[in-house]
Structure 1
């Protein structure tokens, strides 16, 4: 373990702090690599017209009309507003929930937070569910799997898939040309 790697106790404390920060938010959120969902609880007697929900490419505002917004701020990354939606649903306990769905522009990026002034999560600890990975189209899935492989390689101090490919090509070239001296060759 290197000096800058947190020990298991520090890691557990960091996860606990992160969870406490997220639990304290007046909204809950989840994400996949391609989209992000936010839920806000509101009183059960409210109707859609009692709410204000404004979803823009780089900002969000949601809450009850005439009150401080439950969530308001700049988004860390752009969204597709045409494919982002919100609905008001009734829960069995008599409350209602505003469900906001944000469609990410960049489908290969985990968000550390919903709004830029919100507490961050450690995106390197996200492990996408395999079932979700299987829902991606072939090209996107390949890119995500490559990113995950490269991230694991980097953490272990090993070459990325692109670097490994270059090393393999170089090794093959060396085998085909034993007469050449590669002792001073630099691989970047």
Structure 2
């Protein structure tokens, strides 16, 4: 096991703590690489006009009119306001759910939380569903896979794919030119 790498027990404890923090939030949320969806349970007798949902490029506020917002704060990254929506949906148990859909401005970024003052999740542990990954066009999928690889390499203290490419080119050059001394070379 590499230095600083958590044991399976520490990893499980970290995941359990993270899950408990997320479960304690007054809303539920999930994300794909391109969007974030938030669900807030409200009493079943409420109508759309009883709610206040304010989605801005870099912030959100949502809740029941006249009460403290259930969620309010700065977003970790920008959203496309025109493509972000909310609806009020009846739930099977007689309550209703405010469903908020945020369209990420950057489609290649995982969010650690919905608002910056909420507990974070470890975005390095996100495993996108392969079906979702396969739906991406070739270029985007390649970029996402490269980002995931680079993130794993960074966690392990290993070079990213770009750094590895440079190291491979340098190694090949050194092999082709054994007469050159690289012992004092500095690489950025």
TM-score scaled by length of structure 1: 0.90
Query: Quick one: distance in 1 between partners of 2:3 and 2:178?
Result: 42
Query: Counterparts of 1:54-133 in structure 2 under 5 Å?
Result: 54-133=54-133
User: Which region of structure 1 is more displaced relative to structure 2, 68-77 or 147-156?
Assistant: 147-156
Query: Quick one: distance in 2 between partners of 1:118 and 1:168?
Result: 42
RMSD: 1.8
- Please list the CA deviations of residues 120-172 of structure 1 after superposition, one character each: whole Å capped at 9, or x if unmatched: 11111111111111122322211111111122233344332112221232233
Say if 2:79 and 2:104, in contact at 8 Å, map to a contact too.
yes
Say if 2:38 and 2:100, in contact at 8 Å, map to a contact too.
yes
- 2:147 maps to 1:155: no
Say if 2:52 and 2:65, in contact at 8 Å, map to a contact too.
yes
Instruction: State the SS of the aligned residue for 2:106.
Output: coil
Query: Quick one: distance in 1 between partners of 2:173 and 2:7?
Result: 43
- Please list the CA deviations of residues 61-114 of structure 1 after superposition, one character each: whole Å capped at 9, or x if unmatched: 111111221111111111110111101111222211111011111222111111
Query: Counterparts of 1:126-141 in structure 2 under 5 Å?
Result: 126-141=126-141
Say if 2:124 and 2:152, in contact at 8 Å, map to a contact too.
no
Q: Which residue of 2 aligns with 1:34?
A: 34
**Unaligned stretches of 5+ in structure 1?**
none
User: Which region of structure 1 is more displaced relative to structure 2, 81-90 or 159-168?
Assistant: 159-168
User: Which region of structure 1 is more displaced relative to structure 2, 158-167 or 28-37?
Assistant: 158-167
TM-score scaled by length of structure 2: 0.90
Query: Quick one: distance in 2 between partners of 1:82 and 1:144?
Result: 25
Work out the number of aligned pairs and report it. 188
- Structure 1 residue 18, shift from structure 2 partner: 1.0
Q: Which residue of 1 aligns with 2:45?
A: 45
Query: CA, structure 1 residues 71+155, in 2 after alignment: closer, same or farther (shift >3 Å)?
Result: closer
- Please list the CA deviations of residues 6-44 of structure 1 after superposition, one character each: whole Å capped at 9, or x if unmatched: 222222111111111111111000011111000011111
Instruction: State the SS of the aligned residue for 2:72.
Output: strand
**Unaligned stretches of 5+ in structure 2?**
none
Query: Quick one: distance in 2 between partners of 1:159 and 1:117?
Result: 32
